[in-house]
Structure 1
């Protein structure tokens, strides 16, 4: 495995009060780490803490200087009336269109609000995965994807992540089993490998 990109030590995170943790793990370049556990265990909150999106109550997240993070969150921003195309979104994030599945590549000229939920989700994932980043954080990446989209994502992750470290939160056990090189189980009492 490659260099350590992220070291998480005793991380407890939340909003007004702690809701998740403690969590401890390391993430190396070339690794895909899955955070698995039941609803309400705090997986998404812990993922947000890795990029500074929630309050850290205890512990720490240590990254080498200059490490770049790309984060794909759950949910969609309402895009009605936003005049931006898929091609423009990729350009904004620095993500190249090469490698997109044909069913999406042919729609890059369309405005984002003209894409289906699955097409928009895959485009958001692609923008995140292909942006110039060392660490990629994916929160429920298979949401809204059909079987072809999940298969394309899993196949791509299986062969193209050597330069990055990836952390995935997912309720899709087949995806986690298929792509993750390591798993951290998160429950209401904390997390362990």
Structure 2
């Protein structure tokens, strides 16, 4: 299968500096995959996403995107001025106006039915995330990019949101690239978890990464098993896990 986005030997410098925030990163995401990028604050997660989407210059390496690629994006933070009214319906029509039927359909898909007239500032955390997701789905993306999508949600809200993402993937076939810094909110449905800290420390299935020495070295010896918040029961097979030391010992290296 061809990749939706593929990065080879990616290096990115901090703004105004020659110091790399990311170095020698190889990354790809295939159609229909759920990939979680995990790492502490300052590890380069947001820089990786911005580079993959073409919003950040590269110091080295190259990025290839499928020519017809459509991306839906759920940002880490979005704030609204309380003094300026903004209904859900109006928000969905920014920057491109959509019809009432399309708005109702996409809100129903994310479990936000009937919220068109609600003010964005009056939504709960879970409702807000569902509306953001609805907006990201408006134009049938091939890839959904979710930057810290469960930030501020409680544990039941996190589990509900992850179930929703899994259902969206099932219905649409869209790939999902999710970014997180919180060990407790990694989605068990992830086909791959990529552990990042300026470079790729390790990657593989959630079970594989949670037991990897590179993961424990980065997050502490007590971190093993913390990826078990939301257990996904697979009814399908994925290709074999990536070895966690793949980036330390490439094929052919001695």
Q: CA deviation at 1:32?
A: 0.7
Q: CA deviation at 1:91?
A: 4.3
Structure with higher RCO (Cα < 8 A, 6+ apart)? 1
In the alignment, is the contact (CA less than 8 A) between 1:90 and 1:97 conserved in 2? Answer: no
The TM-score, its normalising length taken from structure 2, stands at 0.65
* Superimposed CA distance per residue, residues 93-112 of structure 1 (whole angstroms, 9 cap, x where no aligned partner): 766111333xx434331121
Matched, 1:172 2:174: no
Matches within 5 A, 1:114-153: 114-129=122-137, 131-153=139-161
Structure 1, unpaired ranges of 5+? none
Matched, 1:15 2:15: yes
Match of 1:71 in 2: 73
Q: CA deviation at 1:3?
A: 4.1
SS in 1 for 2:76: coil
Q: CA deviation at 1:181?
A: 0.7
Higher strand share: 1
Cα distance change, pair 126–153 in 1 and its aligned pair in 2 (3 A): farther
Q: Work out the CA distance in 1 between the residues paired with 2:133 and 2:153.
A: 11
Q: CA deviation at 1:26?
A: 1.6
Q: Work out the CA distance in 2 between the residues paired with 1:131 and 1:174.
A: 31
RMSD of aligned C-alpha atoms?
Answer: 2.4
Match of 1:26 in 2: 28
In the alignment, is the contact (CA less than 8 A) between 1:122 and 1:149 conserved in 2? Answer: no
Matched, 1:155 2:154: no
In the alignment, is the contact (CA less than 8 A) between 1:6 and 1:63 conserved in 2? Answer: yes
Cα distance change, pair 20–129 in 1 and its aligned pair in 2 (3 A): farther
SS in 2 for 1:97: helix
